[in-house]
Structures are given as structure tokens and as C-alpha cells.
Amino acid sequence: MMELQKPVTERRRQTRNSIYKFIYDAPKPVSKQEISESLGYSLPTIHQNITELLAAGLIRVGVIKESTGGRPPVGYEAVGSVRYAIGIAVSANYLRFLVCDVNQQQLNYKRIHIEANLADEFARQIQRELDLFMRENKLDSSQLLGVGLTIPGIIDHEKDEIILSPTMNIRKMSLGIIRKLIPYPLYFENDSHSAGYAEWICSEQKEKNRNMVYLQLENGIGGTAFIGGHQIMGNNNRCSEFGHMRVEPGGLSCSCGQKGCLEAYCSAFRFTRDLGIQIEEFFDGLSKGNIEYAKLWDDVLEHLSIGICNLRMVYDSDIVLGGFVSEYLEPYLPRLRQMVAERSPFDDDGSFIYIGKHPRNAAMMGVAWHFTSEFIENV
């Protein structure tokens, strides 16, 4: 495979990029004729760019299906395996790894249990496990675009540090510790911002230009909002910390030090802390009619509906529920929708509440796509 030559002018680069992106976005191989009709470039221009893209291994020849006999017409499609990116979700108990190609297809996944550690040892652990993950999956580092890491906490990109992560018990940790050990381009992002980004990319809200709020339900609660097509980040990169909205004055203690936060009522910790069981066991018992579990669940839904109602009030947007708790929510969605509608002075039903498509992997996908999107933009 040849490296793509740098075009003589920026205008030529843009032409090549729009041809590549047109092929990349198409659901099936496209012909030179189709590209010409859609983008308005001459056939010689398209021919020249396609030759370059083929030589660089970025696209390949594919067969256009609707053949009427004779030689099938030829089209072009994007090659996913030309580069790849890795997403790592860091949490208090687990490191989760995911690798995806340029076509955003997931190739490999791994989850390992970790013990909470001092920052230095923790960084070394990430380095060791990343090395192992790459060796196990025979990933060639020369094809690697970068490694994205998600943290359940607030990140200051300018100071390059984690400001606060209550669930990981981190206050002011320099990201330089990790940068020193890992020799690839690195990108750090808040876990729910990243997960929300992945859900947004795959959402019908994006497709239909609708506003979307993503509420992530895991051991912590976070989220992100896409308003007018843009992800809003806030003045301090801590927009949408929905988990710490107050839903019960003077209520249960929260990891942030306050009382009555949404997170204290509706995170997965509720099941381990109040009942001493894991989430699978909780929802299994709930579906079989366990009275104690049902009582706790009523309380979770009560507070969740208050939280969702507040988000609806602020943003007037669709609400997408994600995170691993959302994997269990489908049977309870009609009731949750009804509870929210009863609280809302403006809504007749809760049909604006959805469950996300990637309850387990969205954070890793989002942070890996940071690199693949950048790559696509720069072809």
C-alpha cells in the first residue's frame, strides 16, 4: 500500500476528500458516474482521484448489484482495514478495550478486572494491558491511528489532567503520567460525553436533526446533550453532569459529597449498596416478583422520572437512556414513560424517551471514533 500523496493545493485536497467521503458514506459501492452526478466533478477529475485512493488502499473495487446481465457494473467502496483505533474505558473495577477499523466496525473486545491503585501503578497497568491486547489481536502499531481513553470524571484538556473522578477516587491527576508510558497518539474524554457521542452518531435524532439528551446509567450517572447538531460542553467541560442534579433534598448521600443526587438514587451502585447484589441478580429477581426488589425499583423509577422530567424541561429534546443499566430497561420503559408524562405539564406521553443502541460499548466506540473521524476528515 502506498502513502497518499499530499495534493498540490488545498482545493485539490478538498476535492479528493469529498470524493472519498462520498464513497465512504454510501451504503453500497458507487460508480464514477454516480459520484460525478452527485458532486458535480468531471469524469477525468474523478478518475484521477479514484486512482490515487485505490493506490493508497483506501478504497477498493466492488460490484454494483443491480446488474441486468452481461458484465456487472463496477463501483467503489471504502476499505475499513486500512487503519484502526483503540478505545479504552477506564473505571474503578475494570479496563475495557475495543478496537475498530476506519469503517467504525468493531474488531475485538476485552474486559479485565483491576484493583483500584495509585496513579503511577494504574498508568503502568494500562500500558501493560494495552501491549497485551495488541499482541493478542496481532494489531500492527504502524496502522494504529491512536488510543482513546474514557474516564468517569471531569477532564481539563488545557491542563491535561483529571480534575475529579469521585467513582475512581481521583482528585487532580496529571494525564502526563499515562502519556509518558504509551507511545501512541492519545485522547482522553469523559466517559458519558464519549458514549453519548457514539449514540448520537448512530441515532435517528441526528438523522432527523432533532435535539438529543443522552443520560448514561452505570455505577455513576452522567450524560451529554446535542443541541442544534452540536455537543455542548459548558464553560468548564463539565456540562451535563446530570448525576449530580438534586432529585431529593436532604436525601441519600452521593459520591460527590452532596445529598439527594440522581446518582445516589438511580445508579447501579444502588443494587450493590442497598441489597448487596449485582445488577443481573437484581433484574432477574425483579422479573420473578421479588417484593423487596420491586420496592427499591419503584423508588429508582420515581427519582429517574423526576430527573428525566427536569431534562425535558431544560432542553425540550428527545432523551436517550444508555449505559449498562439501560440494557435491562426495555420491559419497564412503558411505565417510566407514563411516570414522566404524569410529571410533565407539557407532554401527553413519554414517547420522547428512548433506549440507546450500545449499552455496553458506546464509551469506547465514541473515543475510538475520535481518531477514525479525524482520519476521514484528513484524507
**Angle in degrees, 0-180, between the axes of helices 191-201 and 362-378, rounded to the nearest 10:** 70
Residue 355 DSSP code: E
- Residue 96 has φ and ψ, to the nearest 5°, of -120, 135
Cβ at position 238, least distance to Zn ion in Å:
12
Using the rule CB under 5 A, is 303 a contact of Zn ion? no
Which residue type sits at 32? K
Q: Are 58 and 119 in contact (CB under 8 A)?
A: no
Cβ at position 328, least distance to Zn ion in Å:
23
Strands 144-151 and 186-190: parallel
User: What would the x/- binding string for Zn ion be over residues 326 to 355, using CB under 5 A?
Assistant: ------------------------------
* Helix, strand, coil percentages for the chain (3-state, nearest 5): 45, 25, 30
- Cα–Cα distance between 314 and 322 in angstroms, integer? 19
The sign one gets for the Cα dihedral 50, 56, 58, 60 is positive
Q: Which is nearer to Zn ion, 148 or 166 (CB)?
A: 166
User: What would the x/- binding string for Zn ion be over residues 160 to 199, using CB under 5 A?
Assistant: ----------------------------------------
Q: Which stretch binds Zn ion (CB under 5 A): 102-110, 237-245, 307-315, 326-334?
A: 237-245
Q: Which is nearer to Zn ion, 79 or 266 (CB)?
A: 266
Q: Which is nearer to Zn ion, 164 or 256 (CB)?
A: 256
* Of 90, 261, 268, 308, the one binding Zn ion by CB under 5 A: 261
Using the rule CB under 5 A, is 154 a contact of Zn ion? no
Using the rule CB under 5 A, is 238 a contact of Zn ion? no
Single out the residue of 190, 203, 215, 224 nearest to residue 304, CA to CA: 215
Q: Which is nearer to Zn ion, 225 or 266 (CB)?
A: 266
* Of 244, 270, 312, 360, the one binding Zn ion by CB under 5 A: 244
Q: Which is nearer to Zn ion, 107 or 252 (CB)?
A: 252
* Of 114, 163, 256, 296, the one binding Zn ion by CB under 5 A: 256
Task: Tell me the DSSP string of 201-251.
Answer: HT-HHHHTT--EEEEEESSSEEEEEEETTEEE--TTS-TT-GGGSBSSTT-
Chain residues that interact with Zn ion, rule: CB under 5 A: 244, 254, 256, 258, 261
